[in-house]
Structure 1
Amino acid sequence: MSDDSLDPVAVALGSDIRGLRKTKGLTLAELAELTGRSVGFLSQIERGLKKPSVGTLQSLGDALGLGIGWFLQGTEGGATTAERTVVVRRNQRRRLSYTGLSSTDYLGMQDWLVSPDLNANHGLVVTTYEPGASTGDDLNGHEGEESGMVLSGTIVLDLGDERYTLETGDSFHFDSAIPHRYSNPGKEPASTIMALVPMALRYGHAHSGDNDDNA
Protein backbone atom coordinates (compact mmCIF):
# COMPACT_ATOMS: atom_id res chain seq x y z
CA MET A 1 0.00 0.00 0.00
CA SER A 2 1.48 3.38 -1.02
CA ASP A 3 1.59 6.33 1.34
CA ASP A 4 -0.79 8.21 -0.97
CA SER A 5 -3.50 5.60 -0.43
CA LEU A 6 -3.34 5.65 3.36
CA ASP A 7 -6.16 7.21 5.36
CA PRO A 8 -4.71 10.48 6.74
CA VAL A 9 -6.68 10.10 9.98
CA ALA A 10 -5.27 6.59 10.46
CA VAL A 11 -1.75 7.89 9.80
CA ALA A 12 -2.19 10.70 12.35
CA LEU A 13 -3.57 8.32 14.96
CA GLY A 14 -0.79 5.83 14.35
CA SER A 15 1.86 8.49 14.75
CA ASP A 16 0.33 9.61 18.04
CA ILE A 17 0.06 6.09 19.39
CA ARG A 18 3.66 5.27 18.48
CA GLY A 19 4.93 8.45 20.13
CA LEU A 20 2.92 7.88 23.28
CA ARG A 21 4.03 4.27 23.52
CA LYS A 22 7.67 5.34 23.29
CA THR A 23 7.05 8.10 25.82
CA LYS A 24 5.85 5.44 28.25
CA GLY A 25 8.89 3.27 27.47
CA LEU A 26 6.69 0.40 26.29
CA THR A 27 7.48 -2.14 23.60
CA LEU A 28 4.79 -3.22 21.17
CA ALA A 29 4.64 -6.55 22.97
CA GLU A 30 4.04 -4.85 26.31
CA LEU A 31 1.34 -2.62 24.85
CA ALA A 32 -0.27 -5.66 23.23
CA GLU A 33 -0.42 -7.39 26.60
CA LEU A 34 -1.97 -4.32 28.24
CA THR A 35 -4.62 -3.86 25.56
CA GLY A 36 -5.39 -7.46 24.67
CA ARG A 37 -4.55 -6.77 21.02
CA SER A 38 -1.93 -8.56 18.95
CA VAL A 39 1.51 -7.11 18.21
CA GLY A 40 0.82 -7.33 14.48
CA PHE A 41 -2.47 -5.47 14.80
CA LEU A 42 -0.91 -2.68 16.86
CA SER A 43 2.01 -2.44 14.43
CA GLN A 44 -0.44 -1.92 11.57
CA ILE A 45 -2.20 0.80 13.55
CA GLU A 46 1.06 2.61 14.30
CA ARG A 47 1.99 2.55 10.60
CA GLY A 48 -1.39 3.92 9.57
CA LEU A 49 -2.41 0.70 7.81
CA LYS A 50 -5.44 0.20 10.05
CA LYS A 51 -7.76 2.74 11.63
CA PRO A 52 -8.52 1.74 15.23
CA SER A 53 -12.09 1.45 16.43
CA VAL A 54 -13.40 3.52 19.33
CA GLY A 55 -13.09 0.44 21.52
CA THR A 56 -9.45 -0.04 20.56
CA LEU A 57 -8.72 3.64 21.17
CA GLN A 58 -10.30 3.33 24.60
CA SER A 59 -8.13 0.30 25.38
CA LEU A 60 -5.04 2.15 24.17
CA GLY A 61 -5.99 5.20 26.21
CA ASP A 62 -6.39 3.10 29.34
CA ALA A 63 -3.03 1.41 28.76
CA LEU A 64 -1.24 4.71 28.12
CA GLY A 65 -2.91 6.66 30.94
CA LEU A 66 -4.85 8.87 28.53
CA GLY A 67 -8.39 9.87 27.80
CA ILE A 68 -9.77 8.95 24.41
CA GLY A 69 -10.07 12.68 23.69
CA TRP A 70 -6.30 12.88 23.21
CA PHE A 71 -6.50 10.85 20.02
CA LEU A 72 -9.60 12.57 18.70
CA GLN A 73 -8.18 16.06 19.26
CA GLY A 74 -5.16 15.12 17.20
CA THR A 75 -7.28 14.41 14.12
CA GLU A 76 -9.72 17.33 14.22
CA GLY A 77 -9.66 20.54 12.23
CA GLY A 78 -9.42 19.24 8.67
CA ALA A 79 -5.64 19.57 8.39
CA THR A 80 -3.78 17.37 5.95
CA THR A 81 -1.51 14.63 7.24
CA ALA A 82 1.52 16.62 6.09
CA GLU A 83 0.34 19.70 7.97
CA ARG A 84 -0.33 17.78 11.18
CA THR A 85 3.31 16.70 11.33
CA VAL A 86 4.51 20.31 11.07
CA VAL A 87 1.85 22.77 12.25
CA VAL A 88 -0.34 23.07 15.34
CA ARG A 89 -3.21 25.52 14.86
CA ARG A 90 -4.28 27.51 17.90
CA ASN A 91 -7.61 25.69 18.11
CA GLN A 92 -5.90 22.29 17.79
CA ARG A 93 -3.67 22.50 20.85
CA ARG A 94 -3.97 19.58 23.22
CA ARG A 95 -4.18 20.12 26.93
CA LEU A 96 -1.97 18.04 29.19
CA SER A 97 -2.96 17.04 32.68
CA TYR A 98 -1.55 14.56 35.14
CA THR A 99 -2.20 11.42 37.12
CA GLY A 100 -0.33 10.16 40.16
CA LEU A 101 0.41 13.60 41.62
CA SER A 102 -0.52 15.11 44.97
CA SER A 103 -3.50 17.46 45.22
CA THR A 104 -1.19 20.50 45.30
CA ASP A 105 1.03 19.57 42.35
CA TYR A 106 0.29 21.72 39.29
CA LEU A 107 -2.73 23.22 41.06
CA GLY A 108 -3.84 26.31 39.12
CA MET A 109 -1.60 25.44 36.16
CA GLN A 110 -2.44 24.24 32.69
CA ASP A 111 -0.04 22.86 30.09
CA TRP A 112 -0.76 22.92 26.36
CA LEU A 113 1.22 20.85 23.88
CA VAL A 114 2.13 23.14 20.97
CA SER A 115 4.31 20.57 19.23
CA PRO A 116 2.55 18.33 16.68
CA ASP A 117 3.00 15.18 18.76
CA LEU A 118 5.20 13.42 21.30
CA ASN A 119 7.40 11.63 18.78
CA ALA A 120 10.27 14.12 18.91
CA ASN A 121 13.06 14.12 21.48
CA HIS A 122 11.91 17.56 22.59
CA GLY A 123 8.64 19.44 22.62
CA LEU A 124 7.14 22.88 23.10
CA VAL A 125 4.65 23.50 25.88
CA VAL A 126 2.71 26.66 26.75
CA THR A 127 1.89 26.81 30.45
CA THR A 128 -0.61 29.14 32.09
CA TYR A 129 -0.42 29.92 35.81
CA GLU A 130 -3.28 31.30 37.85
CA PRO A 131 -2.26 33.62 40.73
CA GLY A 132 -0.67 31.48 43.43
CA ALA A 133 -0.20 28.47 41.13
CA SER A 134 2.91 26.31 41.30
CA THR A 135 4.35 22.97 40.25
CA GLY A 136 4.11 21.77 43.86
CA ASP A 137 5.39 22.35 47.35
CA ASP A 138 8.76 20.67 46.76
CA LEU A 139 11.59 21.13 44.30
CA ASN A 140 12.04 18.16 41.97
CA GLY A 141 14.75 17.17 39.51
CA HIS A 142 14.79 14.73 36.62
CA GLU A 143 16.86 13.89 33.56
CA GLY A 144 16.75 16.37 30.69
CA GLU A 145 16.94 20.08 29.96
CA GLU A 146 14.43 22.93 30.12
CA SER A 147 14.50 26.21 28.21
CA GLY A 148 11.78 28.79 28.17
CA MET A 149 10.54 32.36 28.17
CA VAL A 150 7.91 34.18 30.18
CA LEU A 151 5.12 35.26 27.83
CA SER A 152 3.14 37.26 30.38
CA GLY A 153 3.12 38.05 34.07
CA THR A 154 5.75 37.09 36.64
CA ILE A 155 7.17 33.62 37.30
CA VAL A 156 9.46 32.59 40.15
CA LEU A 157 11.94 29.85 39.31
CA ASP A 158 13.44 28.09 42.33
CA LEU A 159 16.52 26.28 41.05
CA GLY A 160 18.65 24.46 43.59
CA ASP A 161 19.55 27.03 46.25
CA GLU A 162 18.81 29.98 43.97
CA ARG A 163 15.59 31.88 43.34
CA TYR A 164 14.98 33.86 40.16
CA THR A 165 12.10 36.26 39.57
CA LEU A 166 11.33 36.33 35.85
CA GLU A 167 9.27 39.01 34.14
CA THR A 168 7.63 39.10 30.71
CA GLY A 169 10.28 38.57 28.04
CA ASP A 170 12.85 37.01 30.39
CA SER A 171 14.17 33.60 29.34
CA PHE A 172 15.96 30.72 31.06
CA HIS A 173 17.74 27.42 30.50
CA PHE A 174 18.96 24.80 32.96
CA ASP A 175 19.78 21.15 33.51
CA SER A 176 16.56 19.51 34.73
CA ALA A 177 18.57 17.31 37.11
CA ILE A 178 18.85 20.35 39.38
CA PRO A 179 15.81 20.34 41.71
CA HIS A 180 13.44 23.07 40.57
CA ARG A 181 10.01 24.55 41.00
CA TYR A 182 7.92 27.10 39.11
CA SER A 183 5.35 29.39 40.73
CA ASN A 184 3.30 32.52 40.12
CA PRO A 185 3.37 34.63 43.30
CA GLY A 186 1.57 37.58 41.73
CA LYS A 187 -2.05 38.70 41.57
CA GLU A 188 -2.30 38.35 37.80
CA PRO A 189 -2.18 35.23 35.58
CA ALA A 190 1.16 34.37 33.98
CA SER A 191 2.28 32.17 31.11
CA THR A 192 5.45 30.63 29.71
CA ILE A 193 6.55 28.77 26.62
CA MET A 194 9.08 26.02 27.22
CA ALA A 195 11.14 23.51 25.29
CA LEU A 196 11.56 20.26 27.24
CA VAL A 197 14.18 17.60 26.48
CA PRO A 198 13.13 14.84 26.57
CA MET A 199 9.34 15.16 26.58
CA ALA A 200 8.86 11.66 27.97
CA LEU A 201 10.19 12.49 31.40
CA ARG A 202 7.79 15.28 32.18
CA TYR A 203 4.75 13.79 30.48
CA GLY A 204 5.02 10.15 31.37
CA HIS A 205 1.76 10.50 33.30
CA ALA A 206 0.04 13.02 31.05
CA HIS A 207 -3.41 12.71 29.62
CA SER A 208 -5.45 15.06 27.51
CA GLY A 209 -8.19 17.47 28.39
CA ASP A 210 -10.26 19.73 26.18
CA ASN A 211 -9.13 22.31 23.64
CA ASP A 212 -9.47 25.93 24.71
CA ASP A 213 -9.22 28.75 22.21
CA ASN A 214 -8.12 31.14 24.94
CA ALA A 215 -4.96 29.24 25.83
Structure 2
Amino acid sequence: MNDLQWDVIGNRVRSARVAAGISARELARRIGVSPSHVSQVERGIGAFSVPALYAAAREIDISLHDLFDPPQEAPPAPAPATLQDLDADGVVQRAGQHPTIQLSDGPRWSRLNVAAEADAEFLEVIYQPGTRVLPDYIRHEGREYGIVISGALDVEVDGVRTTLNAGDSIVFDSQRPHRFWNESEAEVRAIWFVRDSEPGDAAPHA
Protein backbone atom coordinates (compact mmCIF):
# COMPACT_ATOMS: atom_id res chain seq x y z
CA MET A 1 0.00 0.00 0.00
CA ASN A 2 1.07 3.55 -0.72
CA ASP A 3 0.75 5.05 2.77
CA LEU A 4 0.09 8.78 2.87
CA GLN A 5 1.75 10.32 5.92
CA TRP A 6 -0.10 12.94 7.92
CA ASP A 7 2.57 15.55 7.16
CA VAL A 8 1.44 15.30 3.51
CA ILE A 9 -2.26 15.41 4.44
CA GLY A 10 -1.55 18.21 6.92
CA ASN A 11 0.14 20.34 4.28
CA ARG A 12 -2.88 19.95 2.02
CA VAL A 13 -5.25 20.83 4.86
CA ARG A 14 -3.21 23.91 5.73
CA SER A 15 -3.02 25.06 2.11
CA ALA A 16 -6.79 24.69 1.66
CA ARG A 17 -7.46 26.44 5.00
CA VAL A 18 -5.26 29.40 4.07
CA ALA A 19 -6.86 29.58 0.61
CA ALA A 20 -10.27 29.66 2.29
CA GLY A 21 -9.16 32.55 4.52
CA ILE A 22 -9.85 30.66 7.76
CA SER A 23 -7.50 30.78 10.75
CA ALA A 24 -6.45 27.56 12.48
CA ARG A 25 -8.27 28.73 15.61
CA GLU A 26 -11.48 29.39 13.67
CA LEU A 27 -11.28 26.04 11.90
CA ALA A 28 -10.83 24.34 15.26
CA ARG A 29 -13.90 26.12 16.62
CA ARG A 30 -16.03 25.11 13.63
CA ILE A 31 -15.12 21.41 13.75
CA GLY A 32 -15.13 21.06 17.53
CA VAL A 33 -11.46 20.36 18.26
CA SER A 34 -8.73 22.35 19.96
CA PRO A 35 -6.53 24.81 18.02
CA SER A 36 -3.50 22.79 19.09
CA HIS A 37 -5.00 19.68 17.50
CA VAL A 38 -5.45 21.49 14.15
CA SER A 39 -1.87 22.70 14.45
CA GLN A 40 -0.60 19.17 15.14
CA VAL A 41 -2.49 17.77 12.15
CA GLU A 42 -1.14 20.49 9.84
CA ARG A 43 2.40 19.79 11.08
CA GLY A 44 2.02 16.04 10.55
CA ILE A 45 2.28 15.06 14.22
CA GLY A 46 -1.44 14.42 14.70
CA ALA A 47 -4.36 12.87 12.82
CA PHE A 48 -8.00 13.82 12.49
CA SER A 49 -10.79 11.45 13.44
CA VAL A 50 -13.30 10.51 10.73
CA PRO A 51 -15.91 13.11 11.87
CA ALA A 52 -13.26 15.83 12.24
CA LEU A 53 -11.83 15.08 8.79
CA TYR A 54 -15.25 15.33 7.16
CA ALA A 55 -16.03 18.53 9.06
CA ALA A 56 -12.67 20.10 8.18
CA ALA A 57 -13.01 19.15 4.50
CA ARG A 58 -16.42 20.79 4.41
CA GLU A 59 -15.28 23.99 6.12
CA ILE A 60 -12.18 24.51 3.96
CA ASP A 61 -13.94 23.37 0.78
CA ILE A 62 -11.70 20.43 -0.07
CA SER A 63 -12.77 16.93 -1.06
CA LEU A 64 -11.25 13.68 0.10
CA HIS A 65 -9.94 12.94 -3.36
CA ASP A 66 -7.99 16.22 -3.19
CA LEU A 67 -6.46 15.02 0.09
CA PHE A 68 -5.43 11.76 -1.56
CA ASP A 69 -4.31 13.52 -4.76
CA PRO A 70 -3.64 17.28 -4.74
CA PRO A 71 -4.87 19.12 -7.85
CA GLN A 72 -2.49 18.70 -10.76
CA GLU A 73 -2.39 19.90 -14.32
CA ALA A 74 -4.62 17.65 -16.40
CA PRO A 75 -2.58 15.08 -18.35
CA PRO A 76 -3.17 14.59 -22.06
CA ALA A 77 -5.96 12.17 -22.92
CA PRO A 78 -4.57 8.61 -23.00
CA ALA A 79 -4.67 6.46 -26.08
CA PRO A 80 -7.26 3.66 -26.08
CA ALA A 81 -6.23 0.93 -23.65
CA THR A 82 -4.98 -2.42 -24.84
CA LEU A 83 -4.51 -5.66 -22.96
CA GLN A 84 -0.83 -4.81 -22.64
CA ASP A 85 -1.13 -1.36 -21.06
CA LEU A 86 -4.13 -1.37 -18.70
CA ASP A 87 -1.87 -0.38 -15.79
CA ALA A 88 -0.28 2.50 -17.69
CA ASP A 89 -3.66 3.75 -18.91
CA GLY A 90 -5.07 3.95 -15.42
CA VAL A 91 -7.53 1.08 -15.77
CA VAL A 92 -5.83 -1.29 -13.30
CA GLN A 93 -4.32 -0.45 -9.90
CA ARG A 94 -2.20 -3.13 -8.25
CA ALA A 95 -2.53 -4.11 -4.59
CA GLY A 96 0.58 -2.27 -3.45
CA GLN A 97 -0.36 1.00 -5.16
CA HIS A 98 -3.53 2.05 -3.29
CA PRO A 99 -3.11 5.47 -1.59
CA THR A 100 -3.81 4.82 2.10
CA ILE A 101 -4.37 6.95 5.19
CA GLN A 102 -4.80 6.00 8.85
CA LEU A 103 -7.40 7.96 10.82
CA SER A 104 -6.95 8.71 14.52
CA ASP A 105 -10.07 6.82 15.59
CA GLY A 106 -9.22 3.47 14.03
CA PRO A 107 -10.23 3.16 10.35
CA ARG A 108 -7.64 2.78 7.63
CA TRP A 109 -8.79 3.99 4.21
CA SER A 110 -7.31 2.76 0.94
CA ARG A 111 -8.55 4.35 -2.28
CA LEU A 112 -9.30 1.68 -4.87
CA ASN A 113 -9.97 3.86 -7.91
CA VAL A 114 -6.77 4.47 -9.84
CA ALA A 115 -7.16 8.26 -9.99
CA ALA A 116 -9.22 10.82 -8.12
CA GLU A 117 -12.83 11.10 -9.27
CA ALA A 118 -14.68 14.22 -8.17
CA ASP A 119 -18.09 12.55 -7.85
CA ALA A 120 -17.22 9.19 -6.26
CA GLU A 121 -15.02 7.46 -3.69
CA PHE A 122 -14.21 3.74 -3.97
CA LEU A 123 -12.53 2.57 -0.75
CA GLU A 124 -11.30 -0.41 1.19
CA VAL A 125 -11.84 0.32 4.90
CA ILE A 126 -10.01 -1.65 7.60
CA TYR A 127 -11.15 -1.48 11.24
CA GLN A 128 -8.72 -2.85 13.80
CA PRO A 129 -10.12 -5.00 16.64
CA GLY A 130 -11.60 -3.20 19.61
CA THR A 131 -12.09 0.24 18.04
CA ARG A 132 -14.37 2.46 20.13
CA VAL A 133 -17.72 3.96 19.25
CA LEU A 134 -17.19 7.41 17.75
CA PRO A 135 -18.47 10.17 20.06
CA ASP A 136 -19.78 12.13 17.08
CA TYR A 137 -21.98 11.12 14.18
CA ILE A 138 -20.86 11.56 10.59
CA ARG A 139 -23.01 13.38 8.02
CA HIS A 140 -22.09 14.55 4.53
CA GLU A 141 -23.42 14.81 1.00
CA GLY A 142 -23.82 11.66 -1.05
CA ARG A 143 -25.07 8.10 -0.89
CA GLU A 144 -23.10 5.17 0.55
CA TYR A 145 -22.87 1.56 -0.56
CA GLY A 146 -20.89 -0.87 1.58
CA ILE A 147 -20.24 -4.58 1.96
CA VAL A 148 -18.33 -6.36 4.71
CA ILE A 149 -15.74 -8.76 3.33
CA SER A 150 -14.56 -10.19 6.65
CA GLY A 151 -15.23 -9.64 10.34
CA ALA A 152 -18.22 -8.04 12.09
CA LEU A 153 -18.76 -4.29 11.69
CA ASP A 154 -20.89 -2.39 14.20
CA VAL A 155 -23.13 0.16 12.49
CA GLU A 156 -25.46 2.91 13.65
CA VAL A 157 -27.68 4.92 11.29
CA ASP A 158 -30.26 7.39 12.64
CA GLY A 159 -29.80 6.00 16.16
CA VAL A 160 -30.50 2.40 15.15
CA ARG A 161 -27.66 -0.06 15.71
CA THR A 162 -26.90 -3.37 14.05
CA THR A 163 -23.93 -5.58 13.17
CA LEU A 164 -22.88 -6.37 9.60
CA ASN A 165 -21.17 -9.72 9.14
CA ALA A 166 -19.21 -10.98 6.15
CA GLY A 167 -21.40 -10.73 3.05
CA ASP A 168 -23.85 -8.24 4.59
CA SER A 169 -24.30 -4.98 2.71
CA ILE A 170 -25.72 -1.55 3.48
CA VAL A 171 -26.98 1.41 1.40
CA PHE A 172 -28.13 4.76 2.80
CA ASP A 173 -28.20 8.52 2.28
CA SER A 174 -25.00 9.97 3.78
CA GLN A 175 -26.95 12.91 5.24
CA ARG A 176 -28.42 10.51 7.80
CA PRO A 177 -26.28 10.56 10.97
CA HIS A 178 -24.13 7.45 11.03
CA ARG A 179 -21.03 5.89 12.58
CA PHE A 180 -19.08 2.63 12.37
CA TRP A 181 -16.82 0.78 14.80
CA ASN A 182 -15.47 -2.70 15.60
CA GLU A 183 -15.99 -4.09 19.09
CA SER A 184 -14.91 -7.60 18.09
CA GLU A 185 -11.52 -9.23 18.55
CA ALA A 186 -10.98 -9.65 14.80
CA GLU A 187 -10.09 -7.15 12.08
CA VAL A 188 -12.94 -5.96 9.86
CA ARG A 189 -12.42 -5.45 6.13
CA ALA A 190 -15.11 -3.69 4.13
CA ILE A 191 -15.47 -2.24 0.65
CA TRP A 192 -17.21 1.12 0.39
CA PHE A 193 -18.47 3.20 -2.50
CA VAL A 194 -19.74 6.75 -1.98
CA ARG A 195 -21.55 8.43 -4.83
CA ASP A 196 -21.97 12.18 -4.85
CA SER A 197 -25.60 13.24 -4.64
CA GLU A 198 -25.08 16.20 -6.98
CA PRO A 199 -22.77 15.73 -9.99
CA GLY A 200 -19.86 18.13 -9.75
CA ASP A 201 -19.82 18.34 -5.94
CA ALA A 202 -17.23 16.28 -4.11
CA ALA A 203 -18.45 13.97 -1.36
CA PRO A 204 -16.37 11.59 0.68
CA HIS A 205 -16.98 8.25 3.57
CA ALA A 206 -16.26 7.05 6.99
**TM-score, structure 1 normalization:** 0.51
1:126 is matched by which residue type in structure 2? E
- 1:163 corresponds in structure 2 to 161
Distance apart, 1:197 and its partner CA = 1.7
Residue in structure 1 matching 2:204, options 188, 192, 202: 202
Residues 145 and 168 of structure 1: is their aligned pair in 2 closer, same or farther, counting only changes over 3 Å? same
Q: Please give the alpha-carbon distance, in whole angstroms, between the structure 1 residues aligned to 2:149 and 2:86.
A: 30
Structure 1 pair 81–134 and aligned structure 2 pair: CA distance change class (3 A) = farther
Alignment of 1:96-175 (within 5 A): 96-97=101-102, 106-133=104-131, 136-175=134-173
Cα deviations across residues 104-151 of structure 1 (Å, max 9, x unaligned)?
Answer: xx5222000011111252121001111122573211211111101001
Computing the radius of gyration from Cα coordinates, the structure with the larger value is 1
Identity %: 27
| Alignment: residue pair count | 130
Given that 1:109 and 1:134 are in contact with CA atoms closer than 8 Å, whether structure 2 keeps it comes out as no
What is the Cα deviation at residue 66 of structure 1?
A: 5.2
Q: Tell me which residue corresponds to 1:206.
A: none
Instruction: Say if 1:107 and 1:120 are closer, same or farther in 2 by CA, change over 3 A.
Output: same
Partner of 1:88: 93
- How far is 1:163 from its partner? 0.8
Cα deviation 1:181-212 (Å, max 9, x = unaligned):
01101011111000012393327xxxxxxxxx
Whose relative contact order is higher, 1 or 2, with alpha carbons under 8 Å and at least 6 apart?
1
CA shift at 1:86, angstroms?
1.4
CA 80–120 in structure 1, closer or farther in 2 if over 3 Å, else same? farther
State whether residues 108 and 132 of structure 1, in contact with CA within 8 Å, keep that contact through their aligned partners in structure 2.
no
Would you tell me which structure has more helix in proportion to its own residues? 1
Unaligned 5+ segments in structure 2 are 1-11, 21-61, 73-83
Cα distance between partner residues in 2 of 1:82 and 1:185: 38
How far apart, in 2, do the equivalents of 1:169 and 1:111 lie?
Answer: 19
Deviations 1:73-96 (Å, cap 9, x if unpaired)? xxxxxx958644211111111103
2:145, 2:172 within 8 Å by CA — same for their partners in 1?
Answer: yes
Q: Distance in 1 between matches of 2:140 and 2:69?
A: 28
Is this contact kept in 2: 1:134–1:181, CA < 8 A? Answer: no
| 2:136 maps to amino acid | D
Quickly say closer, same or farther: Cα 1:162–1:89, change in 2 above 3 A.
same
- How far is 1:68 from its partner? 9.0
Structure 1: any 5+ residue segments left out of the alignment? 1-20, 32-63, 72-78, 99-105, 204-215
